[in-house]
């Protein structure tokens, strides 16, 4: 693997999140820290702020603006990579969306977040930032990645399109089925396979954009005991929604009884299952439910959102295509 050495420096795109916060009137407020000044060893050539938001408040329009900023930096040149700072709450959603919208990008873009503000000595933000820099120095490839250190672990480098939702309480970040790109060991990047996210050239667009949220007709549903499928179906039918259904860790959803996933008569796309054992409940899924294996739910969700206007065959081809390394 040839190192690019980062001769031209790195562009920094700040979007908010905990990594940018400082306490203000008893609350953590975003955009209060000048991150370029916090990391003097990282050769930032410029810093931009297309949005400043705590990631739980992120909107489709924010993602569009951030991706447009990334495209502009790539088109203008002058840097070997881009670091995008972001919050951890909606990290998987942003990583998935940007991986698809920026597929085919020819320089590495690494998303960096933090579990705590940088002035807290327990924060992983510094390790994440330095890990992202080391990765950009080490690889001659493009793609969207995430650098994140969980407690007691090395900084992991994740393919953006494979990220799971951040875990509650401790913010643990992981890739679907553990399929990471590599990790930082002893200050150096060590690949773990699948370092270079593939990009299907036919799906590369100059300006993929997400719709206005009022026009989004894909519901993201997670399973839980007591979910009223009949009421959900009524709501979805009346408002023209399709459903992207996450699954339990075993890749299953409720199929027993009248109040089950089979009560849904709208299009249902099921994610969250990897190759392996199949449980008996799966054989009772009706034909209205299309299961997609080996893809993270956030990635399938944004593939559905982005392709909603496609005709049937084109959409099915897009959903099955490995656009940005989302399939593992």
Q: What is the pLDDT of residue 204?
A: 76
> What does pTM read for this prediction?
0.96
Least confident of 137-146, 157-166, 195-204: 195-204
Angstrom CA distances, 264 to 219, 244, 259, 289, 319, stand at: 13, 12, 9, 9, 21
> Which H or E run contains 303?
helix 297-306
- Give the mean pLDDT of 46-62: 98
Confidence of residue 206 (pLDDT cuts 50, 70, 90): low
Residue 94: closest CA among 294, 271, 298: 298
Confidence of residue 2 (pLDDT cuts 50, 70, 90): very low
Q: What would the CATH number be for the domain defined by 10-203?
A: 3.40.50.1170
Handedness of CA 218, 158, 116, 5 (dihedral sign): negative
DSSP designation for 275: S
Question: What are the residue ranges spanned by the domains of the chain?
Answer: 10-203, 217-307
* Phi, psi of 279, rounded to the nearest 5 degrees: -90, 155
Q: What is the pLDDT of residue 1?
A: 42
Confidence of residue 276 (pLDDT cuts 50, 70, 90): confident
């Amino acid at each position: 693997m040839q190192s690019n050495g980062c001769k031209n420096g790195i562009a920094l795109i700040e979007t908010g999140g905990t990594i940018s916060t400082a306490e203000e009137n008893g609350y953590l407020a975003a955009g209060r820290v000048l991150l370029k000044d916090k990391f003097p060893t990282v050769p930032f050539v410029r810093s931009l702020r297309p949005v400043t938001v705590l990631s739980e408040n992120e909107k489709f329009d924010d993602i569009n603006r951030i991706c447009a900023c990334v495209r502009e930096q790539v088109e203008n040149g002058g840097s070997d990579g881009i670091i995008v700072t972001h919050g951890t709450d909606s990290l998987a959603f942003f990583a998935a969306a940007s991986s698809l919208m920026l597929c085919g990008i020819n320089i590495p873009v690494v998303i960096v977040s933090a579990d705590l503000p940088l002035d807290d000595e327990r924060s992983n933000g510094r390790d994440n930032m330095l890990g992202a820099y080391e990765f950009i120095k080490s690889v001659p490839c493009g793609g969207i990645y995430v650098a994140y250190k969980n407690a007691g672990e090395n900084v992991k480098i994740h393919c953006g399109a494979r990220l799971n939702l951040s875990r509650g309480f401790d913010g643990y970040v992981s890739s679907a089925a553990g399929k990471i790109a590599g990790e930082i060991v002893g200050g150096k990047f060590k690949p773990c396979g699948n370092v270079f996210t593939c990009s299907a050239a036919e799906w590369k667009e100059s300006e993929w954009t997400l719709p206005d949220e009022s026009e989004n007709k894909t519901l993201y549903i997670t399973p839980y005991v007591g979910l009223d499928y009949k009421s959900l179906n009524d709501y979805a039918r009346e408002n023209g929604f399709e459903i992207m259904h996450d699954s339990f860790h075993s890749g299953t959803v409720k199929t027993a009884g009248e109040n089950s996933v089979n009560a849904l008569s709208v299009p249902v796309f099921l994610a969250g299952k990897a190759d392996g054992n199949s449980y008996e409940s799966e054989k009772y899924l009706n034909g209205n439910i299309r299961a997609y294996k080996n893809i993270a739910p956030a990635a399938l969700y944004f593939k559905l959102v982005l392709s909603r206007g496609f005709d049937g065959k084109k959409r099915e081809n897009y959903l099955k295509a490995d656009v940005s390394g989302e399939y593992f």
